[in-house]
Amino acid sequence: MEPSSKCVHNGAHESECHPINTPIYASTVSRYINAGEQYYPRYFNTVNQDTLAAKISALEAAEKGIVFSSGMAAISTTCLALLRPGDQLIIPFEMYGGSIAFAEEQLRPLGIEITYTKATVDSIKEAISEKSKMIFFESPTNPFLSIIDIQALASLAKKNNIITVIDNTFASPINQRPIELGIDISIHSGTKFLSGHSDLCCGAAVGPERLINKIQHHAHHFGGCLNALDCYLLDRSLKTLAIRVREQNTNAFKLAEILASKEVVNKVYYPGLSSHIGFEVAAAQMSGPGSLFSIEFKKNSISIPNFLQALDLITPGISLGGVETTVCAPALTSHHKLTEKQRLEQGIRPELLRFSIGIEAWEDLANDILKAIKAAKL
Ligand SMILES: *Cc1c(COP(=O)(O)O)cnc(C)c1O
């Protein structure tokens, strides 16, 4: 089946009254004869959790999945389940700040060796050692939407017996299915595109049954489980995932093209534009370029605070993936903890803005942005 059909139909629950939707089982106690038969939210085995995990697994072409109470619960539980002291974890540094902080503040003190690389297969290859246990990466990345050749990375890792984990949040399973490209585990902050309405905090990990079972076993200890009501909301949201993401792809592409032609814009970072360094790899491994892009205004051409202030339709906000368009200045938000020197080393100038394009009419979004550019011109 195509993803849009899977979004609607997979993970359906069979019961006597043949409901078209999975009922919300708001029960933490179930009758049991043997302890092994017990259904319990923190065992990650309830009907609502299972049907939802089955839908996300189907979307990613994975054997098995597990849903969590946040993206960070998915990331932390996966890492803590699969890494041991003495193991080396390789991370391309263009990575969600919360994941880097988790690696530094939780994994490193446990004796897990962390090596940062550039977001390229060559740079990752150089970091591989006998102790390498896991490569944890994103593609596209934040805020430059850098693209890693996923198939090349997967085969490099397989040769070296290293587990590959991708944070697939930015692409969503509609635009990218890394497991089909050879990646072991795909993780989502469901808070973003999967839920898509800026009202839910959740996460997921999908992959081979052997590894997901191991993660599920450790998840019992960490307890980051999703409750039945939120499972229902995420399931409901997923039914429209494919059409939301398709609309977001179309809108983002239009806006990226328009902005690239503007005098005040120095550069647009969007994997859907042929000017992007990852364009060809993205075209080969993604089924859509996504809703996220960054633009860099020419130096001293625009006042960023005035620009943000002048927007009416678009909301300045850090999160992403919702039906409404948001924008943030990475230097003031996601990367504000770095020193200015560190930011500039990564190419994050104060004039850089990252957009998450929603499902509004692109004409209205374009008008809002162009009006704000006019108002904020220096
Ligand atoms: C938001 C985000 C996370 C963290 O997810 P939470 O649901 O906030 O815990 C992880 N990775 C990426 C790429 C994100 O955007």
Residues 106-164 have pLDDT tens digits of: 999 999 999 999 999 999 999 999 999 999 999 999 999 999 999 999 999 999 999 99
Determine which residue's CA is closest to atom 2 belonging to ligand 1: 189
Output the six-digit token pair for 142: 């934040």
Determine which residue's CA is closest to atom 12 belonging to ligand 1: 96
Closest by CA to 360, choosing from 325, 326, 319, 312, is 325
Provide DSSP, 129-180.
-TTEEEEEEESS-TTT-----HHHHHHHHHHTT-EEEEE-TTTHHHH--GGG
Q: What's the Cα-to-Cα distance from 69 to each of 49, 131, 167, 231, 310, rounded to whole Å?
A: 11, 31, 16, 9, 36
Residue 136: strand pairing partners = 165
Q: How far does the centroid of ligand 1 lie from the alpha carbon of residue 144, in Å?
A: 17
Question: Residues for the chain: how many in total?
Answer: 378
Provide DSSP, 311-343.
-SSSEE-S---SSS-EEE-TTTTTTTTS-HHHH
Q: At which residue do the structure tokens 């890492």 appear? A: 79
Instruction: Name residues whose C-beta falls within 8 Å of residue 285's C-beta, 6 or more positions apart in sequence.
Output: 147, 149, 150, 151, 176, 181
Closest by CA to 205, choosing from 93, 69, 36, is 69
Write out pLDDT tens, residues 270-288. Answer: 999 999 999 999 999 999 9
pLDDT of residue 338: 80
Q: How far does the centroid of ligand 1 lie from the alpha carbon of residue 198, in Å?
A: 13
Output the six-digit token pair for 19: 């409901």
Q: Is 189 in the pocket of ligand 1 (CB under 6 A)?
A: yes
Q: Is 140 in the pocket of ligand 1 (CB under 6 A)?
A: no
Q: What's the Cα-to-Cα distance from 238 to each of 14, 65, 102, 241, 304, rounded to whole Å?
A: 19, 15, 28, 5, 35
pLDDT of residue 15: 82
Q: Is 94 in the pocket of ligand 1 (CB under 6 A)?
A: no
pLDDT of residue 274: 98
Return the ligand 1 atom nearest residue 169 CA: 13
pLDDT of residue 305: 95
Give CA–CA dist 168/226, Å, rounded: 19
Are 268 and 295 in contact, with CB atoms under 8 Å apart? yes
Q: What are the two backbone dihedrals, phi and then psi, of residue 368, each rounded to the nearest 5 degrees?
A: -60, -45
Give residue 340's region: left, alpha or beta (phi > 0; psi -120 to 50). Answer: alpha
Give CA–CA dist 105/155, Å, rounded: 30
Q: How many CB atoms lie within 10 A of CB 154?
A: 21
pLDDT of residue 30: 87
Give CA–CA dist 244/314, Å, rounded: 17
Q: How far does the centroid of ligand 1 lie from the alpha carbon of residue 116, in Å?
A: 19
Return the ligand 1 atom nearest residue 202 CA: 7
Give CA–CA dist 353/144, Å, rounded: 10
Question: Is pTM beyond 0.85 here?
Answer: yes
Return the ligand 1 atom nearest residue 73 CA: 9
Q: Is 192 in the pocket of ligand 1 (CB under 6 A)?
A: yes
Q: Is 72 in the pocket of ligand 1 (CB under 6 A)?
A: yes
Instruction: Name residues whose C-beta falls within 8 Å of residue 94's C-beta, 6 or more positions apart in sequence.
Output: 118, 119, 138, 141, 142, 144, 146, 346
Closest by CA to 175, choosing from 185, 188, 162, is 188
Instruction: Name residues whose C-beta falls within 8 Å of residue 310's C-beta, 6 or more positions apart in sequence.
Output: 371, 372, 375, 376
Q: How many CB atoms lie within 10 A of CB 221?
A: 10
Q: Is 191 in the pocket of ligand 1 (CB under 6 A)?
A: yes
Q: What's the Cα-to-Cα distance from 282 to each of 10, 35, 176, 193, 288, rounded to whole Å?
A: 27, 48, 9, 19, 8
**Hey, is 19 helix, strand or coil?**
coil
Give the amino acid at 309: Q
Are 264 and 298 in contact, with CB atoms under 8 Å apart? yes
Determine which residue's CA is closest to atom 4 belonging to ligand 1: 71
Q: What is the pLDDT along the chain (378 residues), one digit of tens a residue?
A: 999 999 999 988 888 888 999 999 999 998 888 877 789 999 999 999 999 999 999 999 999 999 999 999 999 999 999 999 999 999 999 999 899 999 999 999 999 999 999 999 999 999 999 999 999 999 999 999 999 999 999 999 999 999 999 999 999 999 999 999 999 999 999 999 999 999 999 999 999 999 999 999 999 999 999 999 999 999 999 999 999 999 999 999 999 999 999 999 999 999 999 999 999 999 999 999 999 999 999 999 999 999 999 999 999 998 899 999 999 999 988 888 888 888 888 889 999 999 999 999 999 999 999 999 999 999
